[in-house]
Amino acid sequence: MSAELKAVVKRVGAETHIYETSVALADKGFNVLLGPTGAGKTTLIKLLAGLEKATSGQIWIKGRDVTHVNTQRRNISLVHQFFVNYPNMSVYENIASPLRVAGLRRQDRDRRVREAAELLKLTPMLNRRPSELSGGQQQRTALARAIVKEADLVLLDEPLANLDYKLREELRDELPKLFAGRGATVVYATSEPTEALLLGGHTATMQDGRVTHFGPTAEIYRAPADLATAEVFSDPPINTAPVTKTGTRMTLDGGVGWTVSGPIADVPDGTYTVGVRPHFITPRANGEGLVRLSGKVLITELSGSDSVAHFRVGRHVWVSQSRGIYQYRVGEMHDFLMDADRCLYFDAKGMLVG
Amino acid sequence: MARIGLSKLSHSYVPDPAAPADWAIKEMDIEWSDGGAYALLGPSGCGKTTLLNIISGLVTPSRGSVLFNGVDVTRLPPEQRNIAQVFQFPVTYDTMSVYANLAFPLRNRGIPDTQVQARVREIADMLELTDQLGRRASGLAADEKQKISMGRGLVRQDVNAMMFDEPLTVIDPHLKWTLRSKLKELHQRVGVTMIYVTHDQTEALTFADQVVVMQDGEVVQIGTPVDLFERPAHTFVGHFIGSPGMNVLPCEIRSGGAFFAGRHIPVDAGIGVPKPGARVELGVRPEFTRFADDGVPVTVIRVADAGRHRIVETRAGDTRINLLVPETAEVPTGDACLAFDPAHTRVYMDGWVSEAA
Amino acid sequence: MATKTDNNRAWLFVIPVVALVAFNALVPLMTVVNYSVQETFGDNLFFWHGLGWFEDILRSERAHAALGRQMLFTAIILVIEVPLGVAIALAMPRKGPWVSVCLVLMALPLLIPWNVVGAMWNILALPDIGLLGHTINAMGIDYNFTQQPIAAWFTMVLMDVWHWTSLVVLLAYAGLISIPDAYYQAAKIDGARGWAVFRHIQLPKMNRVLTIAILLRFMDSFMVYTEPFVLTGGGPGNSTTLLSIDLVKMAVGQFDLGRGGAMSLIYFLITLLVSWIFYTLMTRNESQ
């Protein structure tokens, strides 16, 4: 097991930053910490790095209890959201710095620096100073430094947050390839659900100092343990609404209803919360089990290749997301179709029931 | 409120610009109508902020002129142009209350208190700041501070245009969403000409009726969100807009047809005659690329699960081709064939879309 | 972003400093405490005197007068130096080659040893040969700081302003240049003019450094000794005998160790108390 938190708690004064958390990270792969700002992602990373001490509990890295071991002796590397490089060193020296500390021979050092530079497309910039580089290149330098070190544990704290949209996309695409086959366990903090999905591996969703769910990313996305996880892991935000179950019939406030089958049909009748991801509510028909929602369009949003509409049905506002550019008229009534087969249902405690 | 025109405008930060690279803004003519919502979109260093500062008067252009309602304002300082600007980092007057912050531009202009009060309340209501009016601005969160920055522009009724310089940079991702929508709604309610600078396609496309895409100081396309997605005028637009961006494949023109990897690829419009030595490429978005029984042979390299769909990375020789497949569709492994939607496949020469001669 | 590491070994490196400070400050302070509760008539003979000296000092009109002068001096200094320093900082260029010239000019007075400053101004203000004294007299104003209390105060204050306003300037300037351009641009756009920009942007953003400047100027001027002593020696009469000067006169001049010790402690407590009041008042503003 590469890295593990055992009943870790972090309190600062009267505030609890991390509630008791036990997570065994997946070995040799990506572990994404996903959650909004203030959820405790950075604290968890600092605990793993040894930059902060846990109030109680233990931290294990590579089968060793490192709870009381210094950062310097943990064999980890850390890349920050802000581009942190030595300003007075060239890119080459920056990348070489951890190797020099480790006392590697000159030839080995040179080979590894050049390899990492090649991988991160920094070869033409090796002699430049960080200040002469673009933000993307500066962050690539920091990543190269993390890679050459061949650390057991690589901690990336929102490394792409301060980059331009397209650069972010490009680096996000490269990251899994960079670390593939290196044997390092990567912990990657982000607040963007899409980033978590595309990086793959495992994900721990976090909210208010708690890990709400940990497991393979795609699984968590499709079957979130609870409502909090579903909310953290959805962009645009997941639609939620109270729904009344009578037999196999689900009814929303306002009378719209549908029939369910499978395990959800067997839970006791009563009131539940239904969660519907925006892309299962579309203006066009695509699939079986569609429920019609008619509402007044309030706001529309376009991303490069998606259209989002917020519309009001009764007192409730729903969000729809569809592929392609779809132009709505704000203020007009519009029909949307909800894929009832893809709904998630949560009980009164917020736990997933089907 | 005003119609804004840029006429033969160019700007350089070096004294004697010679090479094209010396120009931060290459010569451009733009006409924006009154009350429109516009975005300047491009990567950092493309000149979009320089252009914004030229319009607001913080930078004087090297050549050409800026016109508000047809009147040349090129040499006027910012305070005489009646523009409002929201900066990347929220600017609030920290010692004042939220109310005093919003009232500040009006009081500076000597507007009577009763009018100030009515207007501030109206705008605070629009921005959902009514509950905070009595609080000190210093204690507020970044998104609320940014709302105050917007509010100080909105309260003024003499504003020619409102400028936004990457206003959501310091806002938390999950709040960006609400603020983005808020801004759109505000534009619809107040009808002031708004110009929004960003590198984020979602912000630009959501906000603007017309998006100006810039690269290296040059305007590469001005169009509606639909234009930019369906008819990119330049491979850069195809790449920059859409996620993942447009596939760009090297191609050959033979007897009036486009060929990639030895296969004829049907395309949307006519194909011009390439200049000798011109770079000829095919552009097709991942959205319009699909697996087919017969077509361009590729190898599937990687499948990334984006939740609502999957992004499949394939290679044909050295050329990378991405495509999107639905969440539930099957993805072949190893070798496969791809087909492109002819209606959305175009030929680009030296980057620019080719029209029939 | 600062990250703190808990590393107990770090304390090892601090021990020498702690020891030095203890030796430097605590030991003499304890000696003073020791003196303050005893009476001596020389020959190293000491007798227990309890809190008698403290009572003495608290009732002594001489001490009251000296304390009053000290407070007056500090008040005048703060009222002049802080606004003046801020004004100079505002007038200084923000960019360009003149920045370093101005900074060096401002730093110069701070580099001159205190007793030299006193001697300099003493000579400068002499009514017959001093440039300043001579000029004032030439203008038809009767000025002689060795004989007129008002003239002595005027010279003493002028000297301190010359010597120490730079400190306020440098701190205020540091605060000013850290204000992002966007604030000035926003103010322009909002139609704010000079005073409003100062009142709502520059002053709030300088808040922190001004707090430090005021605190430093308070402490220094409240405890100032060398310069006024070299300039006037406390005269004419006792007109410029500040608490610090009086203390030295008593303890060293009259060898009144007990009274001197008690006065030192009272002096120390007043400084501490006023500094603390200043600090809490100014930081409370900020945290609201």
pLDDT digits (tens, 9 = 90+) for C162-213: 999 999 999 999 999 888 888 888 888 888 888 888 888 888 888 888 888 9
Predicted pLDDT of residue A41: 92
| pLDDT, position A169 | 87
Q: Is C5's CB within 8 Å of A46's CB?
A: no
Query: How is B293-347 classified by DSSP, letter by letter?
Result: SSSEEEEEEEEEE-SSEEEEEEEETTEEEEEEEETTS----SEEEEEE-GGGEEE
Are A177 and A290 part of one and the same domain? Answer: no
Q: Average pLDDT, whole number, for chain C?
A: 82
> Average pLDDT for residues C234-238, to the nearest whole number?
78
- Map tokens 């996903």 to a residue: A34
Answer yes or no: is A124 within a domain: yes
Please tell me whether residues A162 and A272 are part of one structural domain: no
Query: How many separate helices (H) and strands (E) can be counted in chain A?
Result: 8, 20
Note whether A184 and A257 are same-domain residues: no
β-pairing, B193-198 vs B161-165, is parallel
Residue A84 lies in a domain: yes
Helices (H), chain A: 41-49, 91-102, 106-119, 135-148, 165-179, 193-199, 217-222, 227-232
Distance CA(A104)–CA(A108), nearest Å, equals 7
pLDDT of B180:
82
pLDDT of C2: 40
CA distance A292 to A340: 10
Per the CB < 8 A criterion, the answer to whether A304 and B243 are in contact is yes
Do B93 and C201 meet the contact criterion of CB atoms below 8 Å apart?
yes
| Same structural domain, A178 and A310 | no
- Walk me through the domains of chain B, giving residue ranges and CATH numbers: 4-235 (3.40.50.300), 245-353 (2.40.50.140)
Q: Nearest CA of chain B to the CA of C74: how many Å?
A: 28
Please say whether the beta carbons of A154 and A187 come within 8 A.
Answer: yes
Of the candidates C191, C178, A200, C71, the one whose C-alpha atom is nearest the C-alpha of residue B84 is C191
- Residue B321 exposed, middle or buried by CB count within 10 Å (0-12, 13-18, 19+): buried
For residue B72, is pLDDT > 50?
yes
Band of residue B248 on the pLDDT scale cut at 50, 70, 90: very high
Q: Which two tokens stand for residue C274?
A: 């006023």
The two beta strands, A76-79 and A153-157, are parallel
Mean pLDDT of C270-285: 80
Q: Is A309 within the bounds of a domain?
A: yes
When divided into structural domains, chain A yields a total of 2
The residue of chain A with its CA nearest to that of B184 is A299
Residue of C nearest to A54 (CA): C6
pLDDT band at C288 (very low <50, low <70, confident <90, very high): very low
Is residue C196 a part of any domain in this protein?
yes
Mean pLDDT (whole number) for A166-174: 86
**Given this model, what pLDDT does residue C87 score?**
93
DSSP code of A237? Answer: P
Buried b (16+ CB within 10 A) or exposed e, A280-291: bbbbeeeeeebb
CA distance linking residue B73 with residue C83, whole number of Å? 39
Q: Is the pLDDT of residue C3 over 50?
A: no
Do residue A8 and residue A119 come from a single domain? yes
Instruction: List, in sequence order, every residue forming a beta bridge with A127; answer none if it has no partner.
Output: none
Q: At what angle do helices C27-36 and C257-287 cross, to 10 degrees?
A: 120
Whole-number Å distance between alpha carbons of C213 and C168: 6
Q: Average pLDDT for residues A161-176, to the nearest whole number?
A: 85
Q: Can you give the three-state secondary structure of A275-325, one letter per residue?
A: EECHHHEECCCCCCCEEEEEEEEEEEEECCCEEEEEEEECCEEEEEEEECC
Structure tokens at C21: 């400070």
Residue A325 has pLDDT above 80, yes or no: no
Tokens, residue A96: 């070489």
Position A202 pLDDT exceeds 50 = yes
Spacing of C-alpha C25 from chain mean position: 20
- State the burial class of residue A75 (Cβ atoms within 10 Å of its Cβ: 0-12, 13-18, 19+): middle
User: Which chains pack against A, by 3+ Cβ pairs within 8 A?
Assistant: B, C
- Predicted local confidence at residue A296, as pLDDT: 92
Under 8 Å CB-to-CB from B296, ≥6 apart: which residues?
Answer: B260, B261, B263, B265, B316, B321, B337, B338, B339, B340
C55 within domain boundaries? no
Indicate if A141 and A93 belong to the same structural domain: yes
Q: What confidence score (pLDDT) does residue A288 get?
A: 65
pLDDT tens, position by position, B133-143: 999 888 888 88
Which residues of chain C have a Cβ shorter than 8 Å from any chain B Cβ?
180, 182-183, 185-186, 188-193, 196, 200-201, 203-204, 288
Label the pairing between strands A56-61 and A3-12: antiparallel
Each residue of A215-246: pLDDT tens digit? 999 999 999 999 999 999 998 889 999 999 99
HSE-up (13 A, CA, CB side) for residue B62: 17
Mean pLDDT of C234-246: 80
Is residue A66 predicted with pLDDT exceeding 80?
yes
CA-to-CA separations, A202 to A30, B140, B245, in angstroms, rounded: 6, 36, 26
Closest CA to B96 of C90, C186, C281, C280: C186
Q: How many CB pairs under 8 A join B and C?
A: 49
Checking if the pLDDT of C66 tops 90, the result is no
Judge if A211 and A153 occupy the same domain: yes
pLDDT of residue C1: 38
Note whether A21 and A45 are within 8 A (CB).
Answer: no
pLDDT score of B345: 93
Average pLDDT, chain B: 89
Tokens of B213: 């895409």
Asked if the structure places residue A284 within a domain, the reply is: yes
To the nearest whole Å, the CA of B55 is away from the closest chain C CA by: 13
The full DSSP string for C239-266 is TT--HHHHHHIIIIIS--HHHHHHHHHH
Residue B282 pLDDT > 90, yes or no? yes
Q: Are A35 and A149 in a shared domain?
A: yes
Give A221's contacts in chain B (Cβ within 8 Å).
305, 307
* Contact map slice: A 125-144 vs B, CB within 8 A: 134-135
**Which bin fits B328, alpha (ψ -120 to 50), beta or left (φ > 0)?**
alpha
Out of A175-184, B30-39, C123-132, the most confident range is B30-39
Tokens of B97: 């209350």
A331 reaches B (C-beta below 8 A): no
Residues A306 and A168 reside in one and the same domain: no
Helix or strand or coil: residue A331?
coil
Report d(CA C286, CA A59) in Å as an integer.
39
| First CA to last CA distance, chain C | 23
Q: What is the mean pLDDT of residues C92-121?
A: 87
Q: B326-352 as b/e, with b when 16 or more CB fall inside 10 Å?
A: eeeeeeeeeebbbbbeeebbbbbbebe
The answer to whether residue A351 is domain-embedded is no
Q: Enumerate the residues of chain A whose CB falls inside 8 A of the CB of residue B213.
A: none
Separation between Cα atoms, residue B166 and residue A47, nearest integer Å? 33
Domain enclosing residue C212, as ranges? 60-287
* Residue of chain A minimizing CA distance to B325: A323
Residues 6 or more apart whose Cβ sits within 8 Å of residue A70? A50, C5, C7
**Residue B357's pLDDT is what?**
56
Cβ-proximal residues to B351 (8 Å cutoff; 6+ apart), any chain: B234, B235, B236, B279, B281
* Separation CA C131–CA A156 (nearest Å): 67
User: Cβ distance A95 to A147 under 8 Å?
Assistant: no
Is the Cβ pair A70, C5 closer than 8 Å? yes
pLDDT tens track for C135-151: 888 888 888 888 888 88
Give the chain A residue nearest C3 (alpha carbons).
Answer: A51
Mean pLDDT along residues B173-198? 84
Greatest pairwise CA separation for chain B in angstroms? 75
Looking at residue C97, the DSSP 8-state letter turns out to be T
pLDDT of residue C4: 46
Query: Would you say residue C183 lies in a domain?
Result: yes
Per the domain annotation, does A353 fall within a domain? no
B39 closest CA partner among B29, B51, B27, B54: B51
| Domain assignment present for A232 | no
Please indicate if any CB of chain C lies within 8 Å of the CB of B85. Answer: yes
CATH of the domain at A81: 3.40.50.300
Hey, which residues 117-136 in chain B have their CB within 8 Å of chain C? 136
Q: Which domain does A155 fall in, by range?
A: 3-227
Q: What CATH number is attached to the domain comprising C224?
A: 1.10.3720.10
Same domain, A109 and A216: yes
pLDDT at C18: 85
Q: Which two tokens stand for residue A112?
A: 């590894």
| ipTM for the whole complex | 0.84
Average pLDDT over residues A1-27: 89
- Residues C241-270 have a mean pLDDT of 80
In chain B, the percentage of residues whose pLDDT exceeds 90 is 46
Whether residue C243 lies inside any domain: the answer is yes
Chain C CB contacts of B96 under 8 Å are: 200
* The pair of three-digit structure tokens given for residue B107, joined into one six-digit string: 């009081």
Please check whether residue B88 touches C, CB under 8 A.
Answer: yes
Chains touching chain B through at least 3 C-beta pairs below 8 angstroms are A, C
> A323 CB near a chain B CB, below 8 Å?
yes
- Residue B256: helix, strand or coil by DSSP? coil
Paired strand residues for C227: none
Q: What is the pLDDT of residues A52-63, one digit of tens each?
A: 889 999 999 888
Q: What is the pLDDT of residues A91-145, one digit of tens each?
A: 999 999 888 888 888 888 999 899 889 888 889 889 988 888 888 888 889 989 8
Same domain, A214 and A290: no
Does the structure show a pLDDT above 90 at B38? yes
Percent of chain A with pLDDT over 70: 98
Sheet holding B37-41, edge to edge: B83-86, B161-165, B193-198, B37-41, B210-215, B218-223
d(CA B349, CA C8): 66
Nearest by CB to B87, which of C182, C188, C201?
C182
Distance (Å, rounded) from C-alpha B330 to C-alpha A18? 41
- Per-residue confidence (pLDDT) for residue A245, from 0 to 100: 92
Contacts of C219 (CB under 8 A, 6+ apart): C271, C275
pLDDT in the model for residue C7: 59
Which positions in chain A have a beta carbon within 8 angstroms of at least one beta carbon in chain C?
Answer: 46, 50-53, 70-71, 82
Altogether, the residues listed in chain B come to a count of 357
Residue A321: which CATH number? 2.40.50.140
What mean pLDDT do residues C214-225 have? 87
As for how many domains chain C has, the answer is 1
> What's residue C51's pLDDT?
77
Confidence of residue B278 (pLDDT cuts 50, 70, 90): confident
Residue A283 has pLDDT above 70, yes or no: yes
Q: Are residues A66 and A207 in the same domain?
A: yes
- Would you say residue A274 has pLDDT above 70? yes
CB contact at 8 A, B104 and B153: no
Residue C8: pLDDT band by 50, 70, 90 thresholds? low
Which of A227, A254, A274 is the endpoint of a domain? A227
* A219, A204 Cβ separation under 8 angstroms: no
Rounded to an integer, what distance in angstroms lies between the CA atom of residue B200 and that of residue A180? 29
Task: Please report whether residue C164 resides in a domain.
Answer: yes
Query: Hey, which of A203-212, B76-85, C116-125, C185-194 has the most confident mean pLDDT?
Result: A203-212
Asked if residue C93 lies in contact with residue C99, where contact means CB atoms within 8 angstroms, the answer is: yes
Residues in a beta bridge with A8: A21
User: Does the distance separating the beta carbons of C7 and A53 come in below 8 Å?
Assistant: no
- The two tokens of residue A104 are 């590697």
**Spatial contact of C16 and C233, defined as CB atoms under 8 Å apart:** no
The answer to whether residue A301 is domain-embedded is yes
pLDDT-derived band at B80 (thresholds 50, 70, 90) equals confident
- Is B330 an interface residue toward A (CB < 8 Å)? no
Predicted local distance difference test score (pLDDT) of residue A286: 60
**Is a pLDDT exceeding 50 seen at residue B24?**
yes
Of A95-99, A207-211, C49-53, C239-243, the range with the lowest mean pLDDT is C49-53
pLDDT band at B349 (very low <50, low <70, confident <90, very high): very high
Residue C41 lies in a domain: no
User: Would you say residue C43 lies in a domain?
Assistant: no
Mutual angle of helices C149-177 and C114-125, in 10-degree steps: 130
Last residue of a domain, one of A227, A254, A278: A227
Closest CA of chain B from C79, distance in Å? 23
